């Protein structure tokens, strides 16, 4: 079967340079509105991948995201927000990008074309079959990601993928492929746009659902969040006041800071 990169097909819009600012913004927004609908179609795939990740993490495993360019940066963003949001240890969710940390801010030429480097990067973390590796590639053809997933499968490590082309090569090396087909980009081939938005939505869904399953959320509250700034301390104090029915702000704040998290502060009074 011939593989067609939908993400590289010509934009449905022509002569963008002749559009007014309003027209450009309106048309980008019109395209963006199609992304959640494409994600909705992929929920059965997302559900299978999320369940597999949850099972491994409940058993003590870790989650690794791998990608290049925008895809890699989105994985790092999602991974980096798990500790402060849910109070999990650093290293439980790890984001890797082709070219290393310097590629987060500046493109590293040809880094994504190395089929071997992805696996070498995983070895730095003592990857094992306890873990799950999810490759993120809008095109579904990134060698850095494909090579890593291929080796992971040969080592008995569960793999997943998030791509925006149907039947892509990266899906062939994923035990749990997710394909969110958003169609051609507003600017032809600029996958940081709709494809990037789709990947971000899927990553939000996966990590949030996994953390809920791991018991890091109670009711609808981030009861394990890190108290790293005044805004979060204030949010935590109000949670403690609500859950313990305390009227005094300072009393709740003292309790929160003593125990270091909403969950522990509340449990200390029960």
Known catalytic residues are: 81, 112
Helices 69-86 + 194-213 axis angle, to 10: 30
DSSP bridge pairs for 160: 134, 176
Instruction: Please say whether the beta carbons of 167 and 145 come within 8 A.
Output: no
198 vs 23: CA distance, rounded Å: 23
Pairing of strands 158-163, 132-136: parallel
- Strands of the sheet containing 158-163, edge to edge, are 93-97, 63-67, 132-136, 158-163, 176-179
Token pair of 261 as six digits: 């998290």
Place of tokens 């953390």: 211
Query: How many Cα atoms occupy the beta-carbon half-sphere of 162 within 13 Å?
Result: 32
């Amino acid at each position: 079967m011939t593989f067609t990169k939908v993400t590289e097909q010509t934009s449905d819009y022509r002569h963008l340079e002749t559009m007014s600012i309003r027209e450009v913004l309106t048309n980008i927004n019109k395209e963006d509105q199609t992304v959640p609908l494409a994600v909705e179609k992929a929920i059965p795939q997302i559900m299978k991948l999320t369940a597999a990740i949850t099972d491994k993490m409940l058993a003590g495993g870790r989650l690794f995201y791998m990608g290049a360019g925008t895809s890699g940066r989105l994985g790092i963003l999602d991974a980096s927000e798990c500790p402060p949001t849910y109070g999990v240890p650093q290293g439980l969710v790890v984001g890797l990008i082709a070219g290393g940390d310097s590629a987060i801010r500046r493109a590293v030429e040809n880094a994504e074309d190395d089929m071997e480097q992805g696996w070498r990067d995983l070895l730095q973390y003592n990857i094992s079959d306890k873990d799950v590796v999810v490759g993120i590639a809008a095109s579904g053809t990134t060698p850095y990601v494909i090579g890593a997933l291929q080796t992971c499968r040969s080592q008995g490590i569960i793999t997943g993928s998030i791509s925006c082309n149907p039947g892509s090569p990266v899906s062939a090396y994923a035990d749990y492929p997710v394909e969110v087909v958003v169609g051609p980009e507003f600017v032809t081939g600029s996958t940081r746009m709709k494809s990037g938005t789709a990947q971000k939505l899927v990553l939000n869904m996966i990590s949030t659902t996994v953390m809920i399953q791991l018991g890091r959320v109670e009711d609808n509250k981030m009861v394990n969040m890190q108290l790293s700034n005044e805004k979060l301390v204030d949010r935590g104090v109000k949670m403690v006041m609500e859950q313990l029915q305390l009227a005094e702000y300072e009393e709740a704040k003292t309790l929160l800071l003593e125990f270091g998290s909403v969950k522990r502060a509340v449990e200390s009074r029960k």
